[in-house]
């Protein structure tokens, strides 16, 4: 009887150890409007100290830590991009992210300028 109890405890221990090693990823989602940087900001310093480059996949967010990579989905057409947060903003009501021009092209939002998006991080 003691042997069976011991084997059972070992199995439970091993199973719990295996499940504890799994990494769970929880993501947060924000929905709102996205805009993109005007060309006049090219070369200007961002809040992180980097210079804005229109050809990089970067973005501004009000509160996420610099260096955070987020997935932005254009809710009008389903296109998505991954951008790295390196600036603060946007500071326009209803807007949750400003993306670089390269990201805006990939999201197909150049013509409209502002689109509804989902930001996942």
Among 23-27, 73-77, 80-84, where is mean pLDDT lowest?
Answer: 23-27
Compute the chain's Rg from CA coordinates: 22
| Residue 1: inside a domain | no
CA 67 to chain centre: 10
| Residue 20: inside a domain | no
pLDDT surpasses 90 at 20 = no
For the chain, the domain total comes to: 1
Would you place residue 98 in the very low, low, confident or very high pLDDT band (cuts 50, 70, 90)?
very high
Identify the CATH number of the domain in which residue 112 sits. 2.40.40.10
Among 9-18, 79-88, 93-102, 104-113, where is mean pLDDT lowest?
Answer: 9-18
Looking at the DSSP bridge assignments, the partners of residue 82 are: 71
Gap between the Cα atoms of 90 and 36, Å rounded: 9
The residue ranking higher by pLDDT, 35 or 15, is 35
Looking at the DSSP bridge assignments, the partners of residue 70 are: 83
Q: Classify 36 as helix, strand or coil.
A: strand
pTM for the model stands at 0.78
In contact, 99 and 14? CB cutoff 8 Å? no
Mean of all residue pLDDT scores within the chain: 86
| Residue 101: inside a domain | yes
Would you place residue 70 in the very low, low, confident or very high pLDDT band (cuts 50, 70, 90)?
very high
Domain of 99, in residue numbers: 26-120
| Residue 17: inside a domain | no
């Amino acid at each position: 009887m003691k042997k069976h109890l011991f084997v059972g405890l070992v199995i439970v221990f091993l199973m719990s150890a295996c499940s504890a090693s799994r990494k769970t990823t929880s993501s947060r989602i924000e929905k709102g409007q996205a805009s993109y940087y005007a060309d006049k900001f090219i070369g200007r310093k961002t809040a992180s100290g980097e210079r804005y480059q229109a050809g990089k996949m970067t973005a501004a967010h009000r509160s996420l830590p610099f260096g955070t990579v987020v997935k932005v989905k254009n809710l009008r057409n389903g296109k998505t991009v991954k951008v790295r947060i390196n600036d603060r903003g946007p500071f326009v009501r209803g807007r949750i992210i400003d993306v670089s021009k390269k990201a805006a092209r990939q999201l197909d939002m150049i013509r409209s300028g502002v689109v509804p998006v989902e930001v996942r991080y």
